[in-house]
């Protein structure tokens, strides 16, 4: 039965009234492979990219994990740990299909479903028939539905009063578990655990905290916020909130949410150029515009892509995932310029330059920020804020980089100014357009594919699972109309 949500089951509702599921599939890629090839059942299985010697483990079955194999490890290392491990080449199309079918199951319970990665989703149960009293039953029923639909697939479900807590506890009883943390129980569960148990707090942050004498979540919660702020900037406050289990970020339903999974600009040069320096200047300006738009909308991203079109209309697009989230043009520019230098063709004139930032998260949701950088760049951020303020008041061209001044006159202002810059064209949706499409979709769901660092970016594709769910809705409605 479809759960109805009240109007007030929305952001802004006190967090103790919310009820959120985080559903995380167990060893997803490996489990799908085993489901499709029953002979693999009970055996150590790893899912890799192309079966070359240099591929990386994208997922490992629990049998393989017993040998110490884990994802992101090289397959060579996996074979060393377990010589009889069975390596299977990944099948992205299949994972996406299963993923969408799983989301369909979650949608039976609530209209507010947020795909978080290819095998994880948040479901807002606030205001549905699910309550704190029956939530365990509901979770078990969802797991039964999954098993019914896909024999052999199991999920671990975390239930909490917000996304942070739900996400943090879904891993408690993996595989096939249900973990519930009710309002007010957070500290009892997590207080004594290490800070790396906080969603997104990594080793670097843990080291920085340990230098301040903080090793457990309880200690972090009790630590003076002002000192955290001094050390980590705005992230200090977020760290404190996370340490007390507070999180107000809404579950963003696929149908209204995150229309932007990427932000980008591209620019066709007034005349084709052989001069890489010229292309660099355009890239710098575009990076600046992208970063500014991201700051304005409150997004950070960690996948940067660059596109060049040559005079013969052939184009090349490449993307790179960076280790931290950013909204700064100098970071975007640096990565995009690197990609440009690696992929431009010196004999060919450049016609168009584009840059795009994806892997976007809203700022309060950023949990994997590299806090060292954050601090280092505090003064730079102040500068950016000042520049943004000037531009808000006096327009985009009120302030610019010295490097761009003469260039601006030539390339930008002589045309129709920034209006000539188009919206991103090279990341539109393409559901079901063959294998290449699937590969790109996988690349977009970057969390799921640690081995996809620099991947070719076919034009005309979007990686948004939100788009795909909308597409699914449309198909469902069409089918319902026919019946
Ligand atoms: Mg998982």
Query: Encoding tokens for residue 239?
Result: 């760290």
H/E run at residue 205:
helix 203-211
Q: How confident is the model at residue 92 (pLDDT cuts 50, 70, 90)?
A: confident
Give the CA distances from residue 17 to residues 127, 161, 182, 375, in Å, rounded to whole numbers and listed in that order: 9, 7, 10, 35
Contact present, 267 and 281 (Cβ < 8 Å): no
Averaged pLDDT score across all residues of the chain? 76
| The residue count for the chain | 483
Choosing among 3.20.20.140, 3.30.1330.10, 3.30.1490.100, 3.10.180.10, the CATH entry for 262-426 is: 3.30.1490.100
Contact present, 48 and 58 (Cβ < 8 Å): yes
Q: Is the pLDDT of residue 480 over 60?
A: yes
Indicate if 323 belongs to the active site.
Answer: no
Which member of 33, 63, 114, 120 is catalytic? Answer: 120
The answer to whether 188-243 and 262-426 have equal CATH topology is no
Domain ranges of the chain: 17-183, 188-243, 262-426
Give residue for tokens 């996370």.
242
CATH number at 188-243: 1.10.150.20
Distance from residue 105's CA to the centre of ligand 1 (Å):
17
Distance from residue 429's CA to the centre of ligand 1 (Å):
25
DSSP-H helix ranges across 244-328? 276-297
Q: Among 5-19, 80-94, 186-200, name the one with the lowest average pLDDT.
A: 5-19
DSSP designation for 11: T
Distance from residue 445's CA to the centre of ligand 1 (Å):
13
Give the CA distances from residue 414 to residues 77, 269, 417, 423, in Å, rounded to whole numbers and listed in that order: 57, 11, 7, 20
The tens digit of pLDDT for each residue in 292-343 reads 888 887 788 889 999 998 988 888 889 998 888 888 888 999 999 999 999 8
Q: How confident is the model at residue 381 (pLDDT cuts 50, 70, 90)?
A: low
Query: Encoding tokens for residue 56?
Result: 């990386």
Residue bearing the bigger pLDDT, 147 or 431:
147
Going by C-beta distance under 8 Å and a sequence separation of 6 or more, which residues neighbour residue 467?
261, 429, 431
Q: For position 68, what pLDDT does the model report?
A: 95
Q: State mean pLDDT over 230-247.
A: 86
Contact present, 316 and 307 (Cβ < 8 Å): yes
Instruction: Single out the residue of 385, 359, 335, 388 nearest to residue 233, CA to CA.
Output: 385
pTM: 0.58
Q: For position 102, what pLDDT does the model report?
A: 92
Give the CA distances from residue 38 to residues 30, 43, 58, 150, 317, in Å, rounded to whole numbers and listed in that order: 12, 10, 20, 12, 39
Distance from residue 3's CA to the centre of ligand 1 (Å):
25
Q: ∠ CA 327-23-300 to the nearest 5 degrees?
A: 0
Report d(CA 174, CA 330) in Å as an integer.
41
Going by C-beta distance under 8 Å and a sequence separation of 6 or more, which residues neighbour residue 107?
2, 113
CATH class of domain segment(s) 17-183: alpha beta
Task: For the chain, count helices (H), then strands (E).
Answer: 18, 14
Distance from residue 26's CA to the centre of ligand 1 (Å):
5
Report d(CA 290, CA 164) in Å as an integer.
29
């Amino acid at each position: 039965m479809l759960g109805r949500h009240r109007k007030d089951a929305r952001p802004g509702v006190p967090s103790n009234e919310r009820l959120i599921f985080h559903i995380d599939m167990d060893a997803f890629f490996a489990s799908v492979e085993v489901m499709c090839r029953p002979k693999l059942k009970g055996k150590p299985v790893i899912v890799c990219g192309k079966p070359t010697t240099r591929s990386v483990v994208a997922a490992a079955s629990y049998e393989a994990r017993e040998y110490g194999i884990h994802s992101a490890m090289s397959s060579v290392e996996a074979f060393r740990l377990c010589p009889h491990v069975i390596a299977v080449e990944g099948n992205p199309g299949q994972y996406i299909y299963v993923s969408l079918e799983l989301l369909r199951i979650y949608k039976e319970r609530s209209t507010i479903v947020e795909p978080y990665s290819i095998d994880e989703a948040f479901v807002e149960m606030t205001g549905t028939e699910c309550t704190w009293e029956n939530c365990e039953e509901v979770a078990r029923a969802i797991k039964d539905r999954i098993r019914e639909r896909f024999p052999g697939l199991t999920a671990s479900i975390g239930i909490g009063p917000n996304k942070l807590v739900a996400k943090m506890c879904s891993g408690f009883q993996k595989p096939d578990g249900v973990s519930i943390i009710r309002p007010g129980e957070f500290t009892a569960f997590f207080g004594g655990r290490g800070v790396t148990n906080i969603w997104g707090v990594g080793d670097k942050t843990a080291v920085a905290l340990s230098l301040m004498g903080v090793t457990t979540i309880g200690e972090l919660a009790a630590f003076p916020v002002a000192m955290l702020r001094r050390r980590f900037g705005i992230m200090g406050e977020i760290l404190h909130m996370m340490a007390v289990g507070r999180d107000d970020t809404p579950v963003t339903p696929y149908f209204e949410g995150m229309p932007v999974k990427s932000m980008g600009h591209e620019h066709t040069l007034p005349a084709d150029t052989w001069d890489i320096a010229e292309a660099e200047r355009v890239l710098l300006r575009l990076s600046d515009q992208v970063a500014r738009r991201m700051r304005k909308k409150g997004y950070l991203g960690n996948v940067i892509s660059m596109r060049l079109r040559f005079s013969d209309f052939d184009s090349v697009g490449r993307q790179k995932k960076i280790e931290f989230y950013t909204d700064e043009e100098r970071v975007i520019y640096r990565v995009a310029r690197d990609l440009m230098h690696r992929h431009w063709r010196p004999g060919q004139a450049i016609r168009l330059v584009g840059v795009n930032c994806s892997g976007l998260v809203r700022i309060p949701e950023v949990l994997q920020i590299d806090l060292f950088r954050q601090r280092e760049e505090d003064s730079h951020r102040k500068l950016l804020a000042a520049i943004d303020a000037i531009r808000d008041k006096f327009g985009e061209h009120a302030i610019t980089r010295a490097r761009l001044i003469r260039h601006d006159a030539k390339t930008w202002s002589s045309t129709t100014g920034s209006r000539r810059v188009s919206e991103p064209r090279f990341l539109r949706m393409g559901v079901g357009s063959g294998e290449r499409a699937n590969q790109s979709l996988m690349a977009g769901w970057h969390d799921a594919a640690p081995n996809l660092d620099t991947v070719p970016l076919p034009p005309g594709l979007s990686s948004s699972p939100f788009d795909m769910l909308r597409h699914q809705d449309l198909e469902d409605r069409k089918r319902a109309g026919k019946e």
